[in-house]
Structure 1
Amino acid sequence: MFAVTVTFEIKPENVDRFLALVQENAQTSLRDEPGCQLFDICHTPGETTVFLYEIYDSKAAFDAHLASQHFKTFDAATAQMVDSKDARLFEKVIR
């Protein structure tokens, strides 16, 4: 398992458009990427923070997500909407 969290601060005037685009990205990831197991989008109405929680089979599956055309399109379309972005990557600890 490979988990990804991303916290975005979105420019206030772009929140609705960003949410529409990130939902499209999540739906496409879940539908078209066999290694994408979970892609949750969290947002509190009236606020500018958007939090993503994603689960992939492996780092290779996440790398495939980053290389996908739909992700590249999303990333380019939203680049100017974002004030800040904090992405964190986690690997499952096996004992």
Structure 2
Amino acid sequence: MFAICVTFRIKTDQMEAFMPLMLENAAASKTLEAGCHRFDVLTDADKPGQVFLYELYIDSAAFDAHCDSAHFKAFTAATADMVAGKDITSWSTVAS
């Protein structure tokens, strides 16, 4: 398995607009992508403006397909001005 962790830093005044788009992207990823096994969206009340994603794919090719999907491209375009920054790390499963 191939895991992706993303931490978004959302502009303070954009969080309400960002979240529905993020949840729509997550739902589309789980529904439309056979290679997407998990797509969790998390927030922390102590870290306003941060959104953490945990995504699990069958392999890196499935993640590449996710990045090429129409719903991901639409999400990225729609939220570009809302995002102050993001950090992305990838991981390979050793054991589960």
Question: Where has structure 1 moved over 6 Å in runs of 4 or more?
Answer: none
Q: SS of the residue aligned with 2:48?
A: coil
Structure 2 match to 1:6: 6
Task: Compute the displacement of 1:26 (Å).
Answer: 0.3
Structure 2 match to 1:44: 44
Q: Deviations over 1:31-67 (max 9, x none)?
A: 0000000000001347110000000000000000000
Q: Map of 1:10-49 to 2, 5 A cutoff?
A: 10-45=10-45, 47-49=48-50
> How many residues matched?
94
TM-score norm. by structure 2 comes to 0.93
Structure 2 match to 1:89: 90
Measure, in 1, the Cα distance between the counterparts of 2:19 and 2:44: 11
TM-score norm. by structure 1 comes to 0.94
**Aligned partner letter, 1:39:** F
Q: Percent identity?
A: 48
Measure, in 1, the Cα distance between the counterparts of 2:16 and 2:57: 27
Mark the runs of 5 or more structure 1 residues left unpaired by the alignment. Answer: none
Task: Compute the displacement of 1:92 (Å).
Answer: 2.0
Measure, in 2, the Cα distance between the counterparts of 1:80 and 1:90: 28
